[in-house]
Chains A and B, each alone.
Chain A
């Protein structure tokens, strides 16, 4: 019999852990042995090396955007992930920071007050001014939000986000530039130096990111972080346990606002311009996608999400890379999910066989039906030319195929056992045809669709995100 005070389930937990896979064990050991700051240092080194590689402008842009979105996701995580406040007005603070920087480093203010040439402050002055401003606005909006919970809070904060775009769009175009935005901004300058290159801003953003990660990690494990997470789980219990819930909610809004504004300052300076369209809800959704994908409530998750979403978006905007991504993901999903191995081999063989046979039959009936060129280029294009069915003038065909594909995917989810595996064969082939004939042609729209699909699959397979921890509501 187990000694009193030790229940059996827990007594066996060590044994159960032994049975877990070797990879997981290794991960766990690494997790418990390596402290947080060596990991952070490793990330910093990877970031620095990436900057030193001397990559072309495309890669530099991806690097910069990754870091920028990681910062934005970290800021969003404060209110949404820790304090559990669904803040849809977050994007307004990103805009606040960007426009704040723009006003203090361009001709814009010159039109407001009789000041020839506007205001051109050094970055050392702008950062504190804008961040304090963002903090104050965050407090004000937090105060409004105190009386609202859940969906109502979401709606009101969404309004704040929309209001920001409308304000910069419509209030005094001579200052805010209206639709045309503000451009010709100064680069960061101060302390006798200036940052003029994309790579320079990449390093600046990287330094901010690393410092922010360290600071937020320490904050998370302090009284403030614990109080935030407590009020997310149970505000009433938190209040009774000496946590001033209202003050902490306002603080969460305000801290998030400051981080977003900091990201805005970097963004505006790198772009050398700001436009109202930079701060639309679609950008907000992208930041949410980062956080959800990486795992709500975690620092590492937010950063991984920011990097992943940016890289996926960048890949999707190039025809070659997007084909790699598309076919790669399908292959990866099959390798990960189809067991045993011979089923996988059988299925892959069936897809190839099915495709070649169907193409031969269709080609025998009408040559025009297979005469269209596939959208992919490079070796994938060469392979697909002999595999998929793409008619000449393929827009309508592609649209119909896409609709059929969605129906087929829903059907597959409903099917069970061997029928699911059978149904996957034509569906994958249809997906390839649809991709080559239609999806790859409109990269902008396709990027949204694929990103959405990735999120849907992700949420079904791993609701707590890549690095998130499973959370319970009531047990």
Chain B
């Protein structure tokens, strides 16, 4: 049984068909890349899976259970966490607090328990602290030590991307949806993020669905690649298969005029 399964998912904004009859499945411990030109519906796909939009038709199942119609925070609690293409950190909170916030769904102390620091609140707070340090430790030195208490807005762009991933990890999810994790990074950092995504799967056991424009990253990490255009799936398969698929080439580059004449 696939971990995540989309079955004929449609979404329209007025007359615009953002997604049409999309089927997609992601197996446990798989890394699947979604590619496609701008406006193909990649981020919309993420928004639909994480409950920001509801599909107008079709079904989405996670671990075999439908998650359609659930509020976004419940879906994340079920085990799908995401990052945002246009970074959406809690800029005025510290690095550590950003990560701690994402554990809200796994903790249960009521406000009164927190105000009185009753045993459950203390126990949870300790666990949350350990979890935050563990997750931030995954990124080496970059988000550690003195960084813990710095506000997120002082971080560099690349570190903000890392913190977004850390925050998604802290939700306790099994599956991560990464929206362009390498966008705006220099070649060094891009190389590093490629390794990081592989480590997320190998060391931490995450299943990963990733949107990426950088074909080196896609080639380096993907078990499978799915190509979208105009809200529909063009093809899927290994990187080589998808990269050489005529419709994918057409979607990115347009049609060869000589071929048209024939």
Contact = CB atoms under 8 A, between A and B. Distances in A.
Interface of A: 3, 5-7, 10, 13, 215-216, 218-219, 222-227, 229-230, 232-234, 236-245, 251, 255, 469, 471-472, 474-475
A233 B93 CA distance: 8
Interface string B142-177: 100011000001001000000000011001000000
Contact of B52 (A13, A218, A225, A240): A240
Contact of A7 (B81, B125, B156): B156
B50 interface: yes
Contacts of B100: 223, 226
Nearest to A220: B114
Contact of B114 (A3, A219, A471, A475): A219
B97 interface: yes
B101 A241 contact: yes
Q: Is the interface of B mostly helix, strand, loop or mixed?
A: helix
A471 B151 CA distance: 10
A242 B105 contact: yes
Interface in B96-148: 97, 100-107, 109, 111, 114-117, 121, 124-125, 128, 140-142, 146-147
A227 B108 CA distance: 13
Contacts, number: 114
B233 interface: no
A219 B125 CA distance: 12
A243 B98 CA distance: 12
Nearest to A473: B91
Nearest to B46: A240
B82 interface: yes
Q: Is the interface of A mostly helix, strand, loop or mixed?
A: helix
A243 B115 contact: no
Contacts of A223: 100, 103-104, 107, 109, 114, 124, 128
Nearest to B113: A222
B176 to A, nearest CB: 12
Nearest to A10: B146
Contacts of B77: 242
In the A-B complex, list the 8 residue pairs whose CB atoms are closest, starting with the nearest. A242-B105, A222-B114, A237-B88, A215-B115, A5-B141, A233-B90, A241-B102, A230-B101
Interface stretch (B68-76, B194-202, B223-231): B68-76
A311 to B, nearest CB: 29
A218 B115 contact: yes
A5 B81 CA distance: 26
27 contacts: A10-B146, A10-B147, A215-B116, A218-B117, A222-B111, A222-B115, A222-B121, A223-B100, A226-B97, A226-B101, A227-B104, A229-B92, A233-B92, A237-B84, A237-B90, A239-B73, A240-B81, A241-B73, A242-B76, A242-B102, A242-B106, A244-B73, A251-B111, A255-B111, A472-B153, A474-B91, A475-B91
Nearest to A240: B72
Interface core residue of A7, A10, A236, A240 (most chain B CB under 10 Å): A240
A241 B106 CA distance: 11
A242 B73 contact: yes
Nearest to A248: B104
Contacts of B156: 7
B3 interface: no
Contacts of A241: 73, 76, 81, 101-102, 104, 167-168, 171
Contacts of B52: 236, 240
B89 interface: yes
Nearest to A246: B71
A10 B155 CA distance: 10
A239 B102 CA distance: 9
Contact of B111 (A7, A224, A234): A224
Nearest to A235: B88
A238 B88 CA distance: 9
B76 A240 contact: yes
